[in-house]
Structure 1
Amino acid sequence: MEKLTRDDLYSLEQYAEVRPEFRTRVLAHKKNRKLPLGPNATLYFEDRLTMHYQVQEMLRAERIFEAAGIEDELAAYNPLIPDGSNWKATFMIEVPDPEERKQLLAKLVGVEDRVWVRVGEHPAVFAIADEDMERETEEKTSSVHFLRFELTPEMAEAVRKGAGVSAGIDHPEFPHQVELPSAVVESLAADLD
Structure 2
Amino acid sequence: MSKEKKQIEKKDLLPSDIYAKSRKQIRKDLVEFKKDRRIALGPYATFYFESFETMVAQVQEMLHIEKGGDEQLKDELIAYNPLVPNGKELTATLMFEIDNPISRATFLGKVGGIEEKIFMKIKDEIVKAVPENDVDRTSAEGKASSVQFIHFKFNDVQINKFKSGNTSIEIGIDHKEYAHTTKLTEDNVKSLTADFI
Gaps of 5+ in 1: none
Rounded to whole Å, the distance in 2 between the matches of 1:21 and 1:94 is 27
User: Which of 85, 93, 98 is residue 88 of structure 2 equivalent to?
Assistant: 85
User: Which of 9, 13, 16 is residue 12 of structure 1 equivalent to?
Assistant: 16
Gaps of 5+ in 2: none
Contact 2:172 2:180 in 1 (8 A): yes
Q: How many residues align?
A: 191
Runs of 4+ residues deviating >6 angstroms: none
Further displaced range: 1-10 or 169-178: 1-10
**What secondary structure is seen at the aligned counterpart in 1 of 2:178?**
coil
Q: CA RMSD of the aligned region, Å?
A: 1.0
**What secondary structure is seen at the aligned counterpart in 2 of 1:145?**
strand
Contact 2:48 2:92 in 1 (8 A): yes
Instruction: Summarize deviations over 1:61-92 as a string: whole Å, max 9, x none.
Output: 10122x22212211110110100110000011
User: Which of 186, 189, 195 is residue 191 of structure 1 equivalent to?
Assistant: 195
Further displaced range: 129-138 or 172-181: 129-138
**What secondary structure is seen at the aligned counterpart in 2 of 1:170?**
strand
Question: What's the TM-score, normalizing by structure 1?
Answer: 0.96
Q: Does residue 76 in structure 1 map to residue 76 in structure 2?
A: no
Residue of structure 1 in register with 2:119 after alignment: 116
Alpha-carbon distance, 1:24 to partner: 1.0
**Given residue 60 of structure 2, which amino acid in structure 1 is its aligned partner?**
Q
Alpha-carbon distance, 1:153 to partner: 0.7
Contact 1:108 1:173 in 2 (8 A): yes
Question: What's the TM-score, normalizing by structure 2?
Answer: 0.94
Mapping of residues 121-140 of structure 1, within 5 Å: 121=124, 123-139=125-141, 140=143
Contact 2:117 2:128 in 1 (8 A): yes
Rounded to whole Å, the distance in 2 between the matches of 1:155 and 1:183 is 19
